Amino acid sequence: MKLVNHKPNYKRLYGREKRRLASALEGVGCNFHHVGSTAVRGLGGKGFIDIQVAVKRKGLMGKAKKIIGSMGYEHPDEGGAPGRLFMRKITPKNTYHVHIVAKGSKPQKSHLAFRDYLREHPKEAREYMKLKKQLAKKARTRMEYRDSKDEYIQGIMKKA
């Protein structure tokens, strides 16, 4: 598993894709948030742009999934969690991950709390990056890498 250092253009890439999503989802009533490692200045990772799409209510998640799917995003079996739909789009230059959640839901709040905590605690973000590098060397698959971070993430969530 290869990790990359944080790049200054992540914010711009997020903004561009957010505008595309917002235009397509105009009638659904969504909020958009830049989440994941690319949303935390100085934090490296896989370099994927993670976008949280928060719909007004859980019943609209399927509609959002259908619309986002028409934009070239796929819904793989991996990456989902209770209360969250995961989609991804791979382009020659970038990979985008979309996490569809209901506004005010536990998955929405925890994703934002984790991001905000790392933004507000740069030392903790540096420690997290050290751990990610260690785990990336050991992991044989992306799923294994993701799962191996769970204990650390849960520790952060208790502080957030």
**Max intra-chain CA distance, the chain:** 44
| 24 close to 34: Cβ distance less than 8 angstroms | no
pTM of the full structure: 0.93
Domain at 10-159, CATH class: alpha beta
pLDDT in 10s for each residue of the chain, 160 residues: 789 999 999 999 999 999 999 999 999 999 999 999 999 999 999 999 999 999 999 999 999 999 999 999 999 876 667 889 999 999 998 999 999 999 999 999 999 999 999 999 999 999 999 999 999 999 988 889 988 999 999 999 999 8
Q: Could you tell me the two tokens for 131?
A: 């751990």
For residue 158, the one-letter residue type is K
Of the chain, the end-to-end C-alpha distance in Å amounts to 28
Specify the DSSP class assigned to residue 8: T
> Which burial class, exposed, middle or buried, applies to 139 when counting CB atoms under 10 A from its CB (0-12, 13-18, 19+)?
middle
Which residues 6+ apart lie within 8 Å of 94 measured at CB? 13, 47, 48, 49
In the chain, domain spans? 10-159
